[in-house]
Amino acid sequence: MTKVIIYGEGGFCEDCDNTHDHPLNNIVEQYEVEDLEPTPEEVAKASALAKLSVLGLTEEEVKALLG
């Protein structure tokens, strides 16, 4: 799960206390969302990347091959 935090105008209030005219730390809303499952294409690309890296190719070479 990924936590989403939405701040009010001005963003996060680092030195927040109850005397400020906004919610604590200026957090307006918080919720969690499900993590997305990787697509079959993303899984295949990650697998290819891992296998090519094992063969000794550099990250730049692998990126050039995978596009």
**For 1-48, what is each residue's pLDDT tens digit?**
899 999 999 899 988 888 888 888 999 999 999 988 999 988 988 888
Q: How many Å apart are CA 42 and CA 26, to the nearest integer?
A: 37
Q: How many Å apart are CA 13 and CA 22, to the nearest integer?
A: 9
Number of domains the chain is built from: 2
Same-domain pairing of 19 and 45: no
Nearest partner of 26 among 39, 36, 16, judged by Cα:
16
Same-domain pairing of 31 and 41: no
Which range of residues forms the domain containing residue 45? Answer: 37-67
The predicted pLDDT at position 34 comes to: 92
The predicted pLDDT at position 31 comes to: 96
The predicted pLDDT at position 60 comes to: 84
The predicted pLDDT at position 46 comes to: 86
For residue 36 the two structure tokens come to: 């997305």
The predicted pLDDT at position 4 comes to: 95
Same-domain pairing of 30 and 2: yes
Same-domain pairing of 4 and 30: yes
The predicted pLDDT at position 12 comes to: 93
